[in-house]
Amino acid sequence: MSDLPILILGGSYAGLMAASRLRKQAPQARIVLISDQPYLQQRIRWHEALAGRQVKRAALAPLLAKARIEFIQAAVLSWDAPGNEVRLDTAEGPRSLSYRGVICALGSVSQLPQWPGAEHCWSLSFAQPLAQRAAELGELAAQGGHLAVIGSGLAGVECASELAERYPKLQVSLIGPPPLADFCPASRAHASRALQRLGVQLLNARVVAADEQGLWLADGRYLACERRLWCGGLRANPLLAECGLPLTADGRVQVTADLRVAGFSNAWAAGDCAAVTLGDGRAQRLSCASAMPTGGHAGEALGDWLHDRPTQPLAFAYVMRCVSLGRRDGIWQLTDAYDVERPRWLGGRSAALIKWLLCAMVWHTPGWELRTGRRLYAWARPPVALPSISATAATEQELG
């Protein structure tokens, strides 16, 4: 076996699941995980961190050491896939590292839009000092200031509701089409009611420009606000566009059914940076819900490849979506295997509890797997058996 290591690029949900499953499949392989951040962060709880809540993070080096996986804290500067080499920016300076096999789990970024003045908006990113921003928001709230959250999808709704609940004196506006467009009508209505109850102003509008004092809307209105938070959508890591990889139009790495990078025998991609298609041909949603199984599968497939075993196609089915609406409310929305919403959902405290449990599960699972060497996480595979409980009835009870 070659002395060259197997590299895992990225140390979040997909990278850690890949590491755990690869170690299980290949107990003797030299595995090195590279991440620019020294911690596993709970990205799906960043809205809570922004609201000043303590959100734990775990140091990657000791976590990985439990499974004899080396950790290098470094930013990947470039990846030469045909040359089997990555270029890194480490604390000691730039260096190159050759590899035998690689899993790319470099994830996504919240990229600011192209409109004029977008630099006057905050976005949620790994490099961002969330604690400092949280402190600024606390001060703004004390002065009764105004925060505009731009984007009414999952992250925008979670940020707006969390901050409005945490700081009742903070004026919060949520700008975009009616919230949670891809939820069923009843759960969408629940989200709008919950946001309004928390005092969030819902503005069905499109932002076209920003300056230091506010936002310009497409209908000509100017919205004065001290802070602007961009939650308009995630994009695959822009670094990938400079690596000569086969990419889709939205910048994700094209992969085959076993998650191998198209055209490369020793490279895999998983999580937000991979263009994984569902059985019906649509691309997977950028989500932790996809990052965990695709990371796990990429690790297992690479392990099979190391042992000259045939690799398996990914078999994955969505079951649900969850969104928090502050700490005491939320929505649990059932979906079909292809992530299309079904008219079954749950709102209120039970949904908030389910969301909390899911966050805890995805936070603890990679560590548990790395420590024990066991497969503790399983994902649904199509066709999927959906729960037979009457979520509608439960919801009426919750709201009643």
Ligand X SMILES: Cc1cc2nc3c(=O)[nH]c(=O)nc-3n(C[C@H](O)[C@H](O)[C@H](O)COP(=O)(O)OP(=O)(O)OC[C@H]3O[C@@H](n4cnc5c(N)ncnc54)[C@H](O)[C@@H]3O)c2cc1C
Query: Would you say 124 or 203 has its CB closer to ligand X?
Result: 124
Q: Return the residue of 20, 84, 108, 284 that touches ligand X, per CB under 6 A.
A: 108
Give the shortest CB-317-to-ligand X separation in angstroms: 14
By CB under 6 A, what part of segment 45-104 binds ligand X? Answer: 46-47, 75-76
| Token pair belonging to 283 | 């691309």
Choice between 122 and 216, CB closer to ligand X: 122
Q: Which residues pair with 78 in a beta bridge?
A: 87
Q: Are strands 85-90 and 93-98 parallel, antiparallel or unpaired?
A: antiparallel
In the bound state with ligand X, the residue whose beta carbon lies nearer, of 10 and 101, is 10
Per CB under 6 A, 311 contacts ligand X: no
What is the DSSP track for 73-141?
A: EEEEEEEETTTTEEEEEETTEEEEEE-SEEEE---EE----SSTTGGGSEE--TTS-HHHHHHHHHHHH
Would you call 274 helix, strand, or coil by DSSP? strand
Stretch that binds ligand X, among 22-30, 175-183, 188-196, 283-291 (CB under 6 A): 283-291
Name which position in 121, 174, 261, 291 contacts ligand X (CB under 6 A): 291
Residue number, 80 or 396, with CB nearest to ligand X: 80
Binding mask 211-250 toward ligand X (x if CB under 6 A, else -) reads --------------------------x-x-----------
Cα dihedral sign for 181, 252, 250, 227?
A: positive
Task: Report how many residues bind ligand X under the rule CB under 6 A.
Answer: 35
Q: Based on the shown chain and the rule CB under 6 A, indicate whether residue 106 belongs to the binding site for ligand X.
A: yes
In the numeric block, which tokens belong to residue 140? 């703004």
Q: Is 107 in the site for ligand X (CB under 6 A)?
A: yes
Q: How far apart are CA 17 and CA 297, in angstroms?
A: 8
Query: In whole angstroms, how close is the CB of 298 to ligand X at the nearest point?
Result: 11
Report yes or no: 284 and 290 within 8 Å, Cβ to Cβ: yes
In whole angstroms, the minimum distance from the beta carbon of 59 to ligand X comes to 13
Fill in the amino acid letter for 218.
A
Cβ proximity to ligand X, 216 vs 290, nearer residue: 290
- Please list every residue from 251 through 280 that binds ligand X, using CB under 6 A: 271-272
11 counts as binding ligand X under rule CB under 6 A: yes
Does residue 344 touch ligand X according to CB under 6 A?
A: no
Angle between the N-to-C axes of helices 349-372 and 288-306, in degrees from 0 to 180, rounded to the nearest 10: 20
x-or-dash string of contact with ligand X, 162-201, rule CB under 6 A: ----------------------------------------
Q: Hey, how many other C-beta atoms are within 10 angstroms of the C-beta on 131? A: 13
Nearer to ligand X, 89 or 304 (CB): 89
Part in contact with ligand X (CB under 6 A); list of ranges 145-153, 287-295, 337-345, 381-389: 287-295
d(CA 44, CA 54): 13
At 6, the amino acid letter reads I
Place of tokens 């209908």: 219
CA angle, residues 303, 304, 305, in degrees to nearest 5: 90
Q: Mark the segment that binds ligand X (CB under 6 A) among 20-28, 31-39, 133-141, 376-384.
A: 31-39
Report CA torsion sign: 300, 301, 304, 310: positive
Asked if 205 and 126 count as a contact pair (C-beta separation under 8 A), the reply is no
Closer to ligand X by CB, 158 or 214: give it: 158
Q: Is position 14 an interface residue for ligand X (rule: CB under 6 A)? A: yes
Query: Half-sphere exposure (CA, 13 Å, Cβ side) for 11?
Result: 29
Closest CB to ligand X among residues 30, 87:
87
Q: Phi-psi category of 212—alpha, beta or left, where left has phi over 0 and alpha has psi -120 to 50?
A: alpha
- As measured in angstroms, the least distance from the Cβ of 82 to ligand X is 19
| 3-state DSSP assignment of residue 248 | coil
Nearest approach, Cβ of residue 273 and ligand X (Å)? 6
Binding site for ligand X (CB under 6 A): 10-15, 34-37, 43-44, 46-47, 75-76, 105-108, 124, 126, 154-155, 158, 237, 239, 271-272, 286-289, 291, 322
